[in-house]
Structure formats: C-alpha cells, structure tokens
Structure 1
Amino acid sequence: MEMSYIILAIVVIAAIAGFMIYNAIVKEHNAVQRGWADVLTQERQRSRIIPELDRVLQEHKDYEKELLPKITALRQGINALQDNNIDTKLQSDVDRASQDLIKGINVAVEAYPELKASESFSKFMNEITEQEENVGAAVRIFNQNVANFNSCIQSFPNNIVNSMFNKKQVIEVFTDSKAQAAFEYTPKF
C-alpha cells in the first residue's frame, strides 16, 4: 500500500510539473505575441505621426517662403526712406506694406505660435528620432521575449511537454537586413 502512495505521489508531482511547464510555455508564447503587437503599435504610431509632422512643417516652410520676400521688400523701402529725399508716396507705400505684413504675422502667430522653420525642422527631427527609438525599443523587447520563449520550449523537460501538448515551434527573432549588411562579421551559430 505504501508503494502505491509513493507511485501516486510521483504521478501527482509529475502532473503538477507538467501543468506548470505547459503554463510557462503558454505564458512565454503570449509574451512574444504581446511584444510583436507592441512593435506594430509603435510602427503604426510612427507611420501616423510622421506625415502629420511633415504637413505642419511644410505649412511653416510655405509661410516663411511667402514672408521672406515681403520682409525684404519692406526693408528695401525703409532703406530708401533713409536718404535725404522726402518722398511721401514711398513713405505711404512703406507704411501700407508694414501694416499688411504685421497683420499677416499677427494672424500667423495666432495660428502658428512657432514661426521659425528651423525650429520646426529641429522638432521634426527630434520626433522622428523618438519614434525610431520607440520602435527600436519595442523590437528589442520582442526579441528578448522570443529568446525567452525559445529557451523555454527547447530546454529539458519543457521540450518534452511542448512536443506532447503545446506543439509550439521556435520563433525567429526580428532582424534587419540593412543593419546586418553593415557588419562584416557574421556569427556562426
């Protein structure tokens, strides 16, 4: 009778270990799926925000392109006034151009608090860099989850439980062919 209790205890312990291993494989596989979903989320965010940033940047660039000739013309008119000649028509033209320019700038300031395209370019590049870093971080997390999952299903006794119940396959890590091409060294695994 004692021997049957020992055999029963061994079977129960083996079953509990099998359940725990099965659940560990499921958990690691879910982590891989969640990691890939995060990669896609970051990529989707990047693909949505970059065109919007580009549109805003183009509006700033177009506005400044229109503004620069007006400022140059106004400056030339003001410089012409500094001569010793009194020209009321030129003075009137300069005043009108100045008022039109100021009205246009006031409207633009209300619509666009940042008028310098160079600042917009800088912010645009910072945003692109941040989006690239976010995608890179998501890929690193995904690859770590893949490594953990692959180790989980390949190690003993997990590989036995996986081959009998889960039947999960090894998942390849994310690779970038452009980045790989930059290296002369390729490890032999």
Structure 2
Amino acid sequence: MSTVLIIILVVVALLVIYLITCYNSFVKLNNKIKEAYATMDVYLKKRYDLIPNLVETVKGYAKHEQGTLEKVIQARNMAMNAGSVDERVEGENILSGTLKSLFALSESYPDLKANENFVSLQSDLNRMEEEIASSRKYYNAIVNTFNTKTEVFPSNLIANMFGFSVKPLFEVENENERQNVKVEF
C-alpha cells in the first residue's frame, strides 16, 4: 500500500468519524430540546389547572368584572390549544397579560385579597410562574446551543444534510413587556 492511499483512507475515516459524531450531537441536542419543552409543558399544565380555580374564587367577589374573567379563560384556552411553539409563545404572552390584569383587579377588592383560598391560589400560581421561568431559561439555553451548532461551519453542512434546522426560542413578543416598570407612590 502506498503512503498516499493510507493518508486518503485516514482522512476519509476521520471525516466519517466527524460526520457520525456531529450527527449524534445534533440528535442528543434535539432530544434535550424535546425534554426541556416537555418539562415546561408540565409546569404550564399545572398553571392551566390552577387558573379556573382562581377565576372561580374571583367571580364570587367581583361579579361585575366578567369581561376580565372571560379574557383570562380565553387566553388560557388559546395557550393550552396551541399547535406550534410560536403559537404557544403568543398564547403564553397573552395569558400572562390577562393574569396581571386579574391580580390588579384583586387590588380593588379588599375582601378578595384577604380570602385565604385566593391568597393560596395566588401563591401557588407565583411558584408555578417561577418554575415556568426556570424551565423556559433551560429550554432557551438548549435551543441556543442547538441553533449555534446548526449555523456554524462545518457543522451547518451536516445539519443541512440531515434536515436539522433552527428552533424557535421562548421570547417576549410584546414590546411593552420589555420596558422598565415605573413604580410610583
């Protein structure tokens, strides 16, 4: 065997090893994205389950605030029934906004703010929001790693070859939510 042939075989073997390693890392990252999304989904489901109880509790104290309560339920249903990640992001942003208005509504009803069930539900929902934020952060970190690998050379060649494409991040879409909060007394 000639030296040139050996060099060619070694180079081909190294390329095949790189191809396999790169492909496997895409598969692993893709599975981590699915796991992160599923974890986030579990927390979102728990939040969805809390919302009807919260709405029912508020209904008893704020009967003439039916419009706000209906918006919360509509936003919950829209987020729950989202088909894609982009639809889920949009639905979650709308739901977060309606929940803020629901809690702002409670400020007008001192009896509601003092209600033990409402306080407990609000506390549970706050804990759920923290868990959701944490899971979104993890999801976005994994997606960022995947997207970077999908876009940089030479792994982008393998990504294109096997159909791996950039995944969407969970982001705030409403520009108003990015603004600094003004606190006035």
Same fold (TM over 0.5): yes
1:4 corresponds to 2:1: no
Q: Distance in 2 between matches of 1:12 and 1:40?
A: 42
Deviations 1:2-43 (A, max 9, x none): 221121111111100110001111111121122222222111
Question: Identity over the aligned pairs, expressed in percent?
Answer: 25
Q: Is the 8 A contact 2:50 2:121 kept in 1?
A: no
Q: Is the 8 A contact 1:28 1:152 kept in 2?
A: no
Deviations 1:59-90 (A, max 9, x none): xx9xxxxxxxxxxxxxxxxxxxxxxxxxxxxx
Q: Which residue of 1 aligns with 2:34?
A: 33
Deviations 1:87-128 (A, max 9, x none): xxxxxxxxxxxxxxxxxxxxxxxxxxxxxx644333222111
1:141 alignment partner, one of 126, 138, 141: 138
**Shift in Å, 1:184:** 5.3
Q: Which residue of 2 aligns with 1:151?
A: 148
**Shift in Å, 1:54:** 6.0
Q: Which residue of 2 aligns with 1:168?
A: 164
Q: Distance in 1 between matches of 2:179 and 2:119?
A: 34
Total equivalences in the alignment: 126
Higher RCO (Cα < 8 Å, 6 or more apart): 1
Q: Is the 8 A contact 2:33 2:142 kept in 1?
A: yes
1:105-120 to structure 2, matched below 5 A, reads 118-120=115-117
- The structure with more radius of gyration: 1
Equivalent residue letter for 1:127: D
Q: Which residue of 1 aligns with 2:73?
A: none
Q: Distance in 2 between matches of 1:122 and 1:181?
A: 27
1:17-166 to structure 2, matched below 5 A, reads 17-52=18-53, 118-164=115-161, 166=162
List runs of 5+ in structure 2 lacking aligned partners. Answer: 62-113, 181-185
List runs of 5+ in structure 1 lacking aligned partners. Answer: 62-116
**Shift in Å, 1:48:** 1.3
Q: Which residue of 2 aligns with 1:183?
A: 178
Q: Is the 8 A contact 1:153 1:159 kept in 2?
A: yes
Q: Distance in 2 between matches of 1:181 and 1:145?
A: 27
Aligned Cα root-mean-square deviation (Å): 2.5
Q: Distance in 2 between matches of 1:19 and 1:122?
A: 54
- TM-score, scaled to structure 2: 0.59
Equivalent residue letter for 1:36: Y
**Shift in Å, 1:129:** 0.3
Equivalent residue letter for 2:160: S
Equivalent residue letter for 1:45: K
Deviations 1:121-150 (A, max 9, x none): 332221110011111111111111110110
**Shift in Å, 1:53:** 6.0
- TM-score, scaled to structure 1: 0.58
